């Protein structure tokens, strides 16, 4: 007569306690590390979220700066071989001259070129700018507009005209925030049994924006 094997013993309370302690330690470590990495970014994005939401109420006085210079004859002659209709960047020598004489970086930037003029857009966070170069006379004009530090920070929030390095920072910051949020959620799960208001408060954080979006946003 065969007998069925005895059921495996349930994990002991000590093993469960040890596993819980391990995960608590890991979660706390990742939580504080991600909090440290993302802290300044969170403050920046929280503040600029408020300023963007009230952009119409925050005054900004644009400051416009113009600079002019004349392209030297040898460089002007080099533009004679530059296409009459193109979006190609200006020659490197012309870009170096513009950087030195007009304090603008146009190297590698697309142009709007005609037979009479070369136009280069110079967008920037918190402002705007452009440069024109007369192909007949060599007269160059640069106009730069700035709208103050709040506009600058708002554009950092939006990633507007900030370049690849800032775009990469936003991606890394987003990952750090996700780690911070998800480890926080896991810690809530582990501590919820001793804190009865945990899930009601989490639900409230979900319901408030959901109800507002359903009722007031059309």
Helices (H) and strands (E) in the chain, counts: 6, 5
- Give 106-158 pLDDT, tens digit per residue: 999 999 999 999 999 999 999 999 999 999 999 999 999 999 999 999 999 99
pLDDT at 6 over 90: no
CA 108 to chain centroid, in Å, comes to 22
pLDDT of 10 strictly over 80: no
8 phi, psi to nearest 5 deg: -65, 140
Confidence (pTM)? 0.81
Tens digit of each residue's pLDDT (9 = 90 or more) over 165-216: 999 999 999 999 999 999 999 999 988 888 899 999 999 999 999 999 999 9
> What pLDDT is recorded for position 2?
53
Block residue for tokens 């306690």? 17
The answer to whether the CB of 165 falls within 8 A of the CB of 158 is no
Name the nearest CA neighbour of 124 among 86, 183, 166. Answer: 166
d(CA 88, CA 113): 8
Q: Return the closest-CA partner of residue 154 out of 177, 174, 125, 128.
A: 125
């Amino acid at each position: 007569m065969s007998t069925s094997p005895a059921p495996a013993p349930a994990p002991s309370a000590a093993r469960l306690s040890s596993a819980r302690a391990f995960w608590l330690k890991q979660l706390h470590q990742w939580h504080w590390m991600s909090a440290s990495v993302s802290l300044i970014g969170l403050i920046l994005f929280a503040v600029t979220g408020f300023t963007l939401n009230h952009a119409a109420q925050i005054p900004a006085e644009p400051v416009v700066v113009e600079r002019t210079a004349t392209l030297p004859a040898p460089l002007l002659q080099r533009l004679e071989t530059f296409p009459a209709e193109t979006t190609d960047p200006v020659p490197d020598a012309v870009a170096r001259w513009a950087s030195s004489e007009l304090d603008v970086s146009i190297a590698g930037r697309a142009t709007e070129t005609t037979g009479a003029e070369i136009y280069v857009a110079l967008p920037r966070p918190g402002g705007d700018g452009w440069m024109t170069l007369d192909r007949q006379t060599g007269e160059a004009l640069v106009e730069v507009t700035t709208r103050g530090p709040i506009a600058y920070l708002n554009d950092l929030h939006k990633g507007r005209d900030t370049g690849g390095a800032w775009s990469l920072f936003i991606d890394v910051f987003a990952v750090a925030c996700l780690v911070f949020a998800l480890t926080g959620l896991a810690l809530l799960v582990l501590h919820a049994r001793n804190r009865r208001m945990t899930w009601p408060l989490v639900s409230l954080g979900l319901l408030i924006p959901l109800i507002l979006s359903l009722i007031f946003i059309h």
